[in-house]
Structure 1
Amino acid sequence: MGHLNADFGGARMTGYGVGPVLEEFTGVSRIAVLRGGGLGDLMYAIPAVTALKAAYPTSTVTLLGTPIHAELLAQVESPVDETAILPFAEGVRPGAVDEENLDRFIAGMRARDFDLAVQLHGGGRYSNPFLLRLGARHTVGAGTPDAARLERTVPYAYYQHEPLRALEVAGYAGAPPVDLEARLRPRPEFERQLAVSLAGDTRTVVVIHPGATDPRRRWPAERFAAVARRAADDGFRVLVVGDQSERELAETVVELAVGPVPAGAGAARGSDSADHAAPQVASLAGKLSLGELAGLLAGCSVVVANDSGPRHLAQALGTPTVGIFWAGNAINAAPLGRSMHRIHLGWATHCPECGIDITQVGWTAPRCRHDVSTVEAVAADAVYEDVLQLTAMTPRPRGR
């Protein structure tokens, strides 16, 4: 079989899911799943983990992930049994590689005697050799033509919906789909905390996340502010979220929406009674744990965001979203349905600074050095119209 074709590893096909579903492996009780990256990357992997747990119900799944994965999974209900934080390793977790630490991690994982190791981290140039070092009895994953072969290898092409790619890999491990997209739930304590903080506040809550890891995926702050202003004028409570690095951006959105914010003003949380003076638009950026963020996202009425981790998390928690995507990223990461999730697309195909074709992405082409937004052309009016439609369909001012 040619190297561009699927490699079944001699296995028998038993059915179809996203792609072929191959026969299950026998005697599987310990599964390792490799997926680094941020929150969005974790959401891409969750449906495959759910499928693996269903196919191997007596097994435990160890996610080889990142610190943000471990933090979130400790504060939500998910199909992952435990998280092992990856060491810095080229192409797997960016950072200064400490070979001794890397070797210790590999030795520790080998001692687990994994029965099955599943690679959900890209095209395999670096992640497949990393996975093979774990010494698992069986290995499954995606691979580009130049990647090391696993026991069963799914052909990797950059433009494929990431959760469905992961489900196709799971199918090669004998696990048909259960969910097509991630499904999570915040722990009850965070839902209760949200209920307390919003007690007596009858306003519909709209959450905005204006950040994104890649600057090219960011809708301009003034467009988010325009949406926030219109929502506030219509009586909604608008909360802008983000991590510590996004505090300034979130505060900019608030200021553009309502004017300068007095020192000490903001959205209180965890109070014993309703804060009736809570501002219509306020920033919580840098103030929430991931569990608190999950509680807020699960309990609000709609989330407006770029193609970012919090938007993917909101979707996994069952909350309607309005997402702003570059068209290429929408192929890989946009929600599948439109009843609860709306998308607005930036159709840029070339960098306005240097003219390079930005559709040639992934491992085959280098990224140009410019950070010009690919979604700037998306109109605020169109985004806000979807906010109105979704809040009319699913009014949930105080959670579910």
Structure 2
Amino acid sequence: MNHPVALDNIEKIAIFRALFLGDLFFTLPAFRALRERFPNAEITLIGLPWAKEFVSRFRHYLDRFLEFPGYPGIIEVDVNPTRTQEFLIQARDYGYDLAIQMQGNGTTSNGFVAELGARISLGHAVNGDDRLTISIPFTERPIKNEILRWLDLVSLLGAHSTPDLEFPIYPHERARAEELIRPALYNNGPIVGMHMGAKEDIRRWPAQRFGELAKILVKLFDATIVLTGTSQEIGLSKEVEAAVGSNVVNLIGKTDLGTFAAVVSSMDLLVTNDTGASHIAAATSTPSVVLFGPTTPEQFGPINQDLHKAVKAYEHVQSYSGSPLWELPVEPVLDACIYMLQNYYVKPSTAF
């Protein structure tokens, strides 16, 4: 049940979203909508430690970062009861006017947000959960893009915005990216990025097939392959480097988030699993081919389906064990890459 609330005098807002890069991109348009609706309010993000950098980069929407202390039933952080209680006491003393649950369906997270003690609380709910003052049912069907899901939520506050993504890139990050990617700029063909990692194995297309794809793109387009990823994914580069040889620039483990975004913005095409890299491509208007296995592009893919082409592994695999991505052949991914390069690639990148 929703209770009548007054939305005047909103000075302090807390948002709970203790998840990862791609997850924060899904809520970014909602953050923008909240800033436009409450231009003078202080907006705090309660999130995972890495998100402190995200808040710093998006200072035009978010003012303050607090590290999520953990809460029973929320798996992202181990629970220390003393730490959690101290955090909640401080939150209640701080006196939030509005607290918004953007963690999920609310089954557990609504408890945490309710205990922040805000005058008004908002979020999704299931099974008649009335712990928040304003809520809407969390539904799995019909499938809705996650960006639109969170925009719908904040619209209950009169907050509206477009679903467009963005990512500010600083001059020193562009300079560093130019230095790293310079070898690729000397070639006549397109710069094709490959991001082979993902948080979960079931969302990873095998590195061997990335290698096969890279070899064909080099042959057909004289492409230079730029590999990206975290330091934990360094081992994934071997398959591509063995298949392609000298037409590879390996940047796995060599970029921070901002430099990574600058590198992606210089590409003519990014081929990536369904992970944060796909949202960086969307935010920088870089054409991409995104590989989906257990997840669907309708829910988790970029809004612009012309600039970002989805390959649905489950449409090309008759049977599989574990993940359809593990069985996805090269041909449909190659077809998508050829289509994107023929329609969007004009000349060697001059992004810098």
In the superposition, the TM-score normalised over structure 2's length comes to 0.87
Amino acid at match of 2:145: H
1 or 2, which has the higher helix percentage? 2
Amino acid at match of 1:308: T
CA offsets 1:355-375 (integer angstroms, 9 cap, x no match)? xxxxxxxxxxxxxxx456366
- Aligned-residue offset at 1:197: 4.2
Q: Please list, as runs of the form range in 1=range in 2, the aligned pairs for 1:6-45 lying within 5 A after superposition.
A: 7-10=1-4, 25-45=7-27
The answer on 1:211 being equivalent to 2:211 is no
Q: Please list, as runs of the form range in 1=range in 2, the aligned pairs for 1:353-392 lying within 5 A after superposition.
A: 353=321, 370=322, 373=325, 376-377=328-329, 379-389=332-342, 391-392=344-345
Aligned to 2:273: 306
Distance 1:57 1:287, change over 3 A: same
Aligned to 1:192: 175
Distance 1:91 1:341, change over 3 A: farther
- Aligned-residue offset at 1:170: 0.7
How many angstroms apart in 1 are the aligned matches of 2:104 and 2:295? 16
Contact 1:142 / 1:154 at 8 angstroms: preserved in 2? yes
How many residues align structurally? 344
Contact 2:101 / 2:124 at 8 angstroms: preserved in 1? yes
How many angstroms apart in 2 are the aligned matches of 1:153 and 1:213? 30
> Which secondary structure does the structure 1 equivalent of 2:96 belong to?
coil
Aligned to 2:257: 290
The answer on 1:99 being equivalent to 2:81 is yes
Contact 1:44 / 1:181 at 8 angstroms: preserved in 2? no
- Aligned-residue offset at 1:80: 2.3
RMSD across aligned positions (CA): 2.7
Contact 2:207 / 2:240 at 8 angstroms: preserved in 1? yes
How many angstroms apart in 2 are the aligned matches of 1:312 and 1:32? 24
Contact 2:99 / 2:120 at 8 angstroms: preserved in 1? yes
Distance 1:62 1:119, change over 3 A: same
Gapped regions of structure 1 (runs ≥ 5): 1-6, 12-23, 260-278, 354-369
How many angstroms apart in 2 are the aligned matches of 1:210 and 1:88? 31
How many angstroms apart in 2 are the aligned matches of 1:151 and 1:140? 6
Aligned to 1:253: 240
Contact 2:16 / 2:102 at 8 angstroms: preserved in 1? yes
Amino acid at match of 1:9: H
Q: Percent identity?
A: 26
Aligned to 1:19: none
Gapped regions of structure 2 (runs ≥ 5): none
In the superposition, the TM-score normalised over structure 1's length comes to 0.78
CA offsets 1:287-327 (integer angstroms, 9 cap, x no match)? 21112112212232221101101111221222222111137
Q: Please list, as runs of the form range in 1=range in 2, the aligned pairs for 1:1-400 lying within 5 A after superposition.
A: 7-10=1-4, 25-75=7-57, 79-145=61-127, 147-158=129-140, 159-176=143-160, 178-198=161-181, 201-203=185-187, 204-233=190-219, 234-255=221-242, 257-258=243-244, 279-326=246-293, 328-347=295-314, 352-353=320-321, 370=322, 373=325, 376-377=328-329, 379-389=332-342, 391-392=344-345, 395=347, 397-399=349-351
> Which secondary structure does the structure 2 equivalent of 1:373 belong to?
helix
How many angstroms apart in 1 are the aligned matches of 2:348 and 2:9? 46
How many angstroms apart in 2 are the aligned matches of 1:198 and 1:77? 28
How many angstroms apart in 2 are the aligned matches of 1:209 and 1:337? 20
Contact 1:25 / 1:174 at 8 angstroms: preserved in 2? no
